[in-house]
Amino acid sequence: METRTFGRLGNISCLTLGGGGIGQVWGSTSRDEALSTVKAAVDAGISFLDVAPAYGKGEAEQVIGAAFGGHLPNGVRLSTKCMLGNPPREEVFSRLERSLDQSLDRTRLKKVDLFFLHGQIVSDGSTARGTPRRLFIEAVCPALERLVAQGRIGCWGISGIGVPSAILDTINDDPPPAVVQAVANLLDSVGAMRQFDEHARPREIIAAANDRGIAVMGIRAVQAGALTEAFDRELPEDHPEMIDYRRAAPFRALAKEIGESAAALAHRYALSLPGVATVVLGVKNRAELHECIAAAECGPLDLGLIARIDAAVGRR
């Protein structure tokens, strides 16, 4: 599998196995199938695993613990996360530490390579749910740096889904995050995760991160299913993902015309975006995994096809 530079963590596979699918966020699967999917991913050359307590209430982390018994295969690294919100400043470190302790217990590991602030970073005074910028600067960043100094995490990162101006300010902070998880899909859509009034600017966030030497994990390549043939769960017609699904109808027609599945083509598009080091997969079984691996093996899209896809969904 192709490897790419991932900032201070060196080279990793262009695909990362995410925890959403194996944690049963994206439709049902069994523990046995999730275990088989994790092992198949590593056997295929995927060298990064991205989980979180929020994925199945710890299920994704427990799958990792059960799959490897506390000893990741050589060259395989892992990230997990903490959903912090807006606690009192004096509680920030203890909450991060407690979340990390629980994640280490579930994964059976002694440390993680990468620890993300999972929630959104929002502007001070914003009514959106998340971690205000001032709290991040004065308490969260120092707490994360303290965990690095203690050797409990290798480095830390942030979610790039939040108030765009606040994310861009955080990218330009010192010290900067080592990694940003940024939306990387052909609609530039954050879907139902959008809790802010500003226009989403995922490609600007990716470019800003690259300018600072911050590695980018591309997420939501298929926009929570909106860029696949069909959803694996029931959604109301006015749900943001359903709106994106209808907008993507010309894209699905184009995928059919060229003989690719919509999911495979959407993953190839995400892998072709400049500045994206690795694309996080939300697969829940081996069939979905192998489809994504096959898509990656086809290589990046040519500029002509990218232009056709952009035109199909109204991007300029």
Q: How confident is the model at residue 196 (pLDDT cuts 50, 70, 90)?
A: confident
**pTM for the full predicted model:** 0.94
**Residue 257 confidence class, pLDDT cut points 50, 70, 90:** very high
**pLDDT at residue 24 tops 90:** no
254 CB contacts (<8 Å, ≥6 apart)?
Answer: 265, 308, 309, 312
- Output the CATH code of domain 3-312: 3.20.20.100
pLDDT value, residue 124: 87
User: Tokens at residue 240, please?
Assistant: 């943001």
Q: What is the pLDDT of residues 268-300, one digit of tens each?
A: 999 999 999 999 999 999 999 999 999 999 999
User: Which pLDDT score, from 0 to 100, does residue 69 have?
Assistant: 96
Sign of CA dihedral 22, 26, 30, 33: negative
Give the pLDDT confidence of 295-311 residue by residue, as tens digits. Answer: 999 999 999 999 999 99
pLDDT > 90 in the chain, percent:
89
Convert the pLDDT of each residue in 40-50 to its tens digit.
Answer: 999 999 999 99
d(CA 159, CA 167): 8
Q: Quick one: average pLDDT of 249-276?
A: 97
> Does the pLDDT at position 316 exceed 80?
no
Answer yes or no: is pLDDT of 78 > 80.
yes
Q: Are 53 and 61 in contact (CB under 8 A)?
A: yes
122-147: pLDDT as tens digits: 988 877 789 999 999 999 999 999 99
Whether residue 198 has pLDDT greater than 90: no
Per-residue HEC secondary structure of the chain comes to CCEEECHHHCEEECEEEEHHHHCCCCCCCCHHHHHHHHHHHHHCCCCEEECCCCCCCCHHHHHHHHHHCCCCCCCCEEEEEECCCCCCHHHHHHHHHHHHHHHHHHHCCCCEEEEEECCCEECCCCCCCCEEHHHHHHHHHHHHHHHHHCCCEEEEEEECCCCHHHHHHHHCCCCCCCEEEEECCCCCCCHHHCCCCCCCCHHHHHHHHHHCCCEEEEECCCHHHCCCCCCCCCCCCCCHHHHHHHHCHHHHHHHHHHCCCHHHHHHHHHHHCCCCCEEEECCCCHHHHHHHHHHHHCCCCCHHHHHHHHHHCCCC
Q: Looking at residues 1-16, what average pLDDT do you find?
A: 96
Calculate mean pLDDT across residues 196-201: 88
Please tell me the predicted confidence (pLDDT) of residue 162.
Answer: 83
Determine the pLDDT at residue 45: 98
